[in-house]
Amino acid sequence: MTAFTSISQFARMLRNLDQWLQRSVDYAQEKKFEPDVLASARLAPNQYELVRQVQSACDAAKYAAAYLSGQQAPSHPDTEKTISELRARIQKCVAYLDGFKASDFTGAEERRIAPPWMEGKSVRGDIYLQRIAVANFYFHVTTAYAILRHNGVELGKADFVGVTSWSELSDA
Amino acid sequence: MTAFTSISQFARMLRNLDQWLQRSVDYAQEKKFEPDVLASARLAPNQYELVRQVQSACDAAKYAAAYLSGQQAPSHPDTEKTISELRARIQKCVAYLDGFKASDFTGAEERRIAPPWMEGKSVRGDIYLQRIAVANFYFHVTTAYAILRHNGVELGKADFVGVTSWSELSDA
């Protein structure tokens, strides 16, 4: 479980998230409501709505890849308002993540990571990945899923993990 | 980011979860309702309630530690009905996780993992950890958090990550 395999897992989960959004659009059509109503849905008045959960999940993955490889993260402005725009944001992020190869993360675990919000402080790469990037990424992706479930979209644990057949895993 | 550091992170997140439950009890007292009402709260009628989210988070961590170290997992029956019992379950799980040392996971990434539900199939340790254990663990812990937020408990992202000061991380 390296920085590279974590980034690959983020990409896999973002593809799952894209599928949940597709299922949400299908559900809206079936129930005859405007799918973009879900874009502003939230679980608590002082918690992010779906749009910001998806943006934040993408950013957690994007910045982890950039920081851990020592690259500059591309700018992905938070302009999305619709499910369709969110899906495009996910595709843009996944394309960025897919561009990395294992060797880009050589030494990532020992690299000092200094995100702007740490205001001059830094943290070792492995700690950053485990305690900040992975925790934040799953927080936002799971909350996005929870918002959809709470609004009636038919999803189950297999959709979350994104496994339709165990043979996919058992071959590994 | 090894099997051992992932297990340590699970223990850290379970301690955070215990704090959210304490905050829920405080909130119930402040609002004058029975705290155990929250034990059966859920976000969707066909999704687990808080009790099973907490039990499942504990089990995801416990089985990951057992499988990846090649040990037999201790039995922790799902008998909890109250917040207080859930907190005891968390303590029991954390005590188990805290008993491991790094050397217990030597070769864990290459070990074949064959949980009973895979019905005779197996998966390599690093794939199991990344795609099953970590994904499931964060799924349940985040959903528990979301249930509490949805019911008005005052929690924020810092409570989720469990960081009160960045110096804790920047020393690493």
pLDDT at B166: 65
- B44 part of contact set with chain A, CB < 8 Å: yes
User: Closest to A9 (Cβ–Cβ): which among B121, B130, B160?
Assistant: B130
**Token pair belonging to A71:** 């690259």
Query: For residue B14, which of B99, B103, B92 has the smallest C-alpha distance?
Result: B92
- B41 part of contact set with chain A, CB < 8 Å: no
Per the DSSP assignment, residues forming a β-bridge with B123 are: B113
Distance from CA of B40 to the nearest CA of A (A): 15
Which residue numbers in chain B have pLDDT < 50?
none
pLDDT at A166: 65
- A161 part of contact set with chain B, CB < 8 Å: yes
Query: For residue B43, which of B157, B158, B149, B155 has the smallest C-alpha distance?
Result: B149
pLDDT at A165: 66
At B124 the three-state DSSP class reads strand
Interchain CB distance below 8 Å, A161 and B118: no
Q: Which amino acid is it at A6?
A: S
What gap in Å lies between CA A97 and CA A160, rounded to an integer?
20
User: Closest to B134 (Cβ–Cβ): which among A2, A134, A143?
Assistant: A134
Region for A75 from its dihedrals, namely left if φ exceeds 0, alpha if ψ lies in -120 to 50, beta otherwise: beta
**A1, B2 in Cβ contact below 8 A?**
yes
pLDDT at B92: 98
- A24 part of contact set with chain B, CB < 8 Å: no
- B129 part of contact set with chain A, CB < 8 Å: yes
**A56, B158 in Cβ contact below 8 A?**
no
User: Closest to B127 (Cβ–Cβ): which among A44, A126, A169?
Assistant: A169
| A vs B: CB pairs below 8 A | 126
Which residue numbers in chain A have pLDDT < 70?
1, 164-168, 171-172
Q: What is the interface pTM, i.e. ipTM, of the complex?
A: 0.95
pTM of structure: 0.96
What gap in Å lies between CA B132 and CA A85, rounded to an integer?
29
Distance from CA of B138 to the nearest CA of A (A): 6
Quick one: how far is CA B89 from the chain centroid? 10
pLDDT at B171: 61
